[in-house]
């Protein structure tokens, strides 16, 4: 089972740092790959780096750059209320530019999500836009995962499935983020009913049940915790995924004021250790992986 999982370092805790730091974190944690956001890529170009420079640096540290996080230009953007400047810039990059970045970086999978509020974009426009993304990505041999977020226009598993079923593209799956799933509509019956391989990407983070900020948006960007430090039903979620099978990517995604103070090495090791402990607690066999074991 473990040989099929790509352990991804999602740079959320140190997203304010540069790409070399993201790679250092991934390497320190024993992750097999690192995700890159369009805004990180463009920032590095502005610093004089090239796509080849970034790929070569990662590979020289034993880390592959396979994943784009995130792509929102497949549908219109909303008011972006509650986003800080960095996240707003991250979510305002066009589909054309994002696809170009994928080509230049040799990206293998895209994490797509909505940047519009519930009810703002007609369903037909959402389906048409996601179908266009999947077609363009498919022409490049790229997989597309759609991530539901409870405070945006694709809020939960059911909404995500409705879009994927309407599009019918062969190169699509779902991102299950334990924070989003637990905060939104934690429909375990629906989760258990999904066929193997429908959930392809897992992002693990924890939280207290009570929001620590006035809005869910602020809470998700500032007060996430590493698995085991909060109260979310992470083990129950992961047990379903283990029993179902078909998971291909997994990692921690911890947006947090506290995590942002960690060094790259600390962030990488803590992310990896939290993922390993959470997955092993749910019965995953991670023997033989390079993921940091403590």
SS3 95: helix
The rounded distance, in Å, linking the Cα atoms of 79 and 151 is 12
- Using CA atoms, how far residue 52 sits from 9, 57, 70, 135, 142, in Å, is 20, 8, 21, 26, 19
Q: Is residue 292 part of a domain?
A: no
Q: Is residue 287 part of a domain?
A: no
Peptide bond into 70 cis (omega under 30): yes
The domain of 270 spans 2-281
Taking 80 as the threshold, does the pLDDT of residue 80 lie above it?
no
Q: Is the dihedral of CA 17, 20, 26, 32 positive or negative?
A: positive
Counted domains in the chain:
1
SS3 46: helix
Model confidence at 1, pLDDT cuts 50, 70, 90, reads very low
Q: Cβ of 214: how many Cβ atoms within 10 Å?
A: 9
- In the numeric block, the tokens 């995924």 are attached to 241
Residue 206 phi/psi, 5° resolution? -120, 175
Give 104-120 pLDDT, tens digit per residue: 999 999 999 999 999 99
Q: Is residue 167 part of a domain?
A: yes
Q: Is residue 31 part of a domain?
A: yes
Q: Is residue 288 part of a domain?
A: no
The model's pTM is 0.96
The rounded distance, in Å, linking the Cα atoms of 5 and 192 is 20
Q: Is residue 294 part of a domain?
A: no
The rounded distance, in Å, linking the Cα atoms of 73 and 206 is 28
Give 131-140 pLDDT, tens digit per residue: 999 999 999 9
Q: Cβ of 168: how many Cβ atoms within 10 Å?
A: 10
Q: Is residue 244 part of a domain?
A: yes
> What is the predicted pLDDT for the residue at 156?
98
Report the interhelical angle of 234-244 vs 264-281 (nearest 10°): 70
Q: Is residue 169 part of a domain?
A: yes
Please state, rounded to an integer, the average pLDDT across all residues of the chain.
95
Taking 90 as the threshold, does the pLDDT of residue 84 lie above it?
no
Give 213-242 pLDDT, tens digit per residue: 999 999 999 999 999 999 999 999 999 999
Question: Which CATH number fits the domain that encloses residue 199?
Answer: 3.20.20.150
């Amino acid at each position: 089972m473990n040989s099929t999982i790509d352990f991804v370092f999602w740079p959320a805790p140190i997203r304010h740092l540069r790409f070399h730091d993201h790679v250092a974190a991934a390497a320190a944690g024993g992750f097999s790959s690192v995700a890159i956001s369009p805004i990180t890529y463009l920032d590095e170009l502005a610093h004089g780096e090239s796509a080849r420079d970034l790929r070569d640096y990662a590979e020289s540290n034993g880390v592959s750059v396979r994943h784009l996080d995130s792509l929102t230009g497949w549908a219109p953007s909303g008011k972006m209320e509650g986003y800080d400047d960095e996240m707003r810039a991250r979510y305002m990059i066009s589909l054309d530019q994002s696809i170009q970045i994928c080509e230049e970086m040799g990206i293998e999978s895209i994490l797509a999500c909505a940047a519009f509020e519930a009810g703002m974009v007609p369903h037909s426009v959402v389906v048409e836009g996601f179908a266009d993304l999947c077609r363009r990505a498919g022409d490049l041999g790229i997989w597309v995962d759609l991530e539901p977020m409870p405070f945006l226009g694709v809020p939960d598993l059911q909404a995500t499935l409705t879009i994927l079923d309407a599009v019918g593209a062969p190169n699509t799956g779902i991102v299950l983020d334990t924070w989003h799933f637990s905060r939104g509509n934690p429909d375990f019956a629906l989760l258990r009913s999904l066929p193997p391989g429908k959930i392809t990407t897992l992002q693990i983070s924890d939280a207290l049940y009570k929001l620590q900020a006035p809005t869910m948006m602020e809470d998700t960007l500032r007060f996430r915790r590493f698995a085991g430090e909060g109260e979310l039903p992470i083990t129950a979620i992961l047990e379903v995924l283990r029993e179902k099978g078909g998971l291909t990517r997994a990692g921690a995604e911890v947006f947090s004021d506290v995590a942002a103070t960690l060094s790259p090495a600390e962030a990488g090791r803590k992310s990896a250790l939290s993922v390993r402990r959470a997955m092993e607690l749910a019965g995953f066999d991670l023997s033989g992986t390079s993921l940091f074991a403590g």
